[in-house]
A and B are shown apart, each in its own frame.
Chain A
Amino acid sequence: AQSVTQPDIHITVSEGASLELRCNYSYGATPYLFWYVQSPGQGLQLLLKYFSGDTLVQGIKGFEAEFKRSQSSFNLRKPSVHWSDAAEYFCAVGASGAQKLVFGQGTRLTINP
């Protein structure tokens, strides 16, 4: 069965510092991978997605993620965080054909001024 693990429940970084959020997945075939962001009381917004091809994908708001098949990972990175990046981040895995997505537990990001 598909599963996603986000090892860090809560991360705090200083504004301007770099960020890496970890995501490990379990899936029997080549997965479709996603990162979503959620502000309090809001829905989820797609940051980026990986289907195939280049393993380094660029997303919105300056985020990027790298797919590493050998490590079953899809970590999210940003070179320099802004106070507005404070939110909860979810990694998800799915398959083609509009199959259901499986989400990780989420990582809450706090930004120190």
Chain B
Amino acid sequence: DGGITQSPKYLFRKEGQNVTLSCEQNLNHDAMYWYRQDPGQGLRLIYYSQIVNDFQKGDIAEGYSVSREKKESFPLTVTSAQKNPTAFYLCASSPSTAEAFFGQGTRLTVV
């Protein structure tokens, strides 16, 4: 089945630790996105990539990093510089029509 797979579903991070969230798609989409969702704040764009080996900062990129070495993969690293990382993270991909397809999300909690 075609789709977007995010893993893990739940992730716990200790203070000062970097963690990486995985996002893989087999839809052959060029564009991929990472959004952060907090209660009452909708979805905010962290990073996006429209082509392999290229990505752009979104509205809240500080404390996050990404890579796009393969078309299918767009991992997100939450670094220790992100002071409030507890949130629900959503990965999406898009063909040229701008319609986005979403994964099931990763819930990150700081412990």
A residues apposed to B, CB below 8 Å: 9, 32, 34, 36, 41-46, 49, 51, 90, 92, 94-106
Known: A49-B99, A98-B50. A105 touches B42 (CB 8 A): yes
Known: A44-B90, A105-B40, A106-B42. A32 touches B97 (CB 8 A): yes
Cα A45 to Cα B105 in complex, Å, equals 12
Q: Are A46 and B43 in contact (CB under 8 A)?
A: no
Known: A32-B98, A103-B42. A98 touches B103 (CB 8 A): no
Q: Are B98 and A101 in contact (CB under 8 A)?
A: yes
Known: A43-B104, A98-B95. A90 touches B43 (CB 8 A): yes
B19: Cβ under 8 A from any A Cβ: no
| Residue among A45, A97, A100 with the highest chain B CB neighbour number at 10 A | A100
B residues apposed to A, CB below 8 Å: 4, 6, 29-31, 33, 35, 40-43, 45, 48, 50, 58, 88, 90, 92, 94-105, 107
Known: A42-B104, A43-B105. A90 touches B42 (CB 8 A): yes
Known: A43-B90, A43-B104. A96 touches B42 (CB 8 A): no
- CB neighbours of B43 from chain A (8 A): 44, 90, 103
Known: A103-B42, A105-B41. A51 touches B102 (CB 8 A): no
Q: Are A98 and B45 in contact (CB under 8 A)?
A: no
